[in-house]
Structure 1
């Protein structure tokens, strides 16, 4: 992926264009997770907020979908950001968080019982 410096306008549109090109060329495939924001910012040589705005733009176009706590993914071709897939990813992220919290509570309980 690279910054589309041929495109005039704000940097976030240039980043969005670069990601869009990576999707259309097959460099990024449907379902693939995008690198983390700081890595993308470094790749494109822009600020993290610029990357976030580019991602928001591509999400509104239906090219990307976000799963909170999991990441940003290339949307499946021919879909408009499937609500079911988003819900499923959100549920899985929540499930992992609950399991981590349960383990923390169990560990804390065992420590205080041993004291």
Structure 2
């Protein structure tokens, strides 16, 4: 795992992106325990609080789950599917709304040019 230096913005988002890519590539597998926070901070070259904020972000996305006193794990299909499906449905609905609004804007523009 490494810091995603192609992203601009807060370091915690860069760390979250790096962990997200490690999950997507299979470097981190479902059910696998993440390294401890201090180790991740050293790996990414950031403060521990930055790592914690990145983990919180990925937990809210349903990619990670925490077991108090045990550690943070990559979510499995059983424990992230419903939230992920809900997010996908929301994104699809937003995409349809944007396409509809773009069509309305195009139609309005054509109508104005015709007049």
TM-score by length of 2: 0.68
TM-score by length of 1: 0.68
Measured in 2, the distance between the counterparts of 1:81 and 1:42 equals 31
Listed one character per residue, the Cα deviations across residues 79-114 of structure 1 (whole Å, up to 9, x for unaligned) are: 4278xxxxxxxxxxxxxxxxxxxxxxxxxxxxxxxx
Structure 2 CA distance for partners of 1:79 and 1:32, relative to 1, 3 Å: same
Question: What is the number of residues matched between the two proteins?
Answer: 82
Measured in 2, the distance between the counterparts of 1:24 and 1:77 equals 13
Q: Which runs of 5+ in 2 are unaligned?
A: 83-115
Note the aligned Cα RMSD (angstroms).
1.5
Measured in 2, the distance between the counterparts of 1:72 and 1:81 equals 17
- Determine if contact 1:65/1:81 at 8 Å carries over to the other structure: no
Q: Is the radius of gyration larger for structure 1 or structure 2? A: 2
SS at match of 1:41: helix
Measured in 2, the distance between the counterparts of 1:76 and 1:7 equals 27
Q: Name the structure with the higher helix share.
A: 2
Counterpart position of 2:104: none
Q: Which runs of 5+ in 1 are unaligned?
A: 83-115
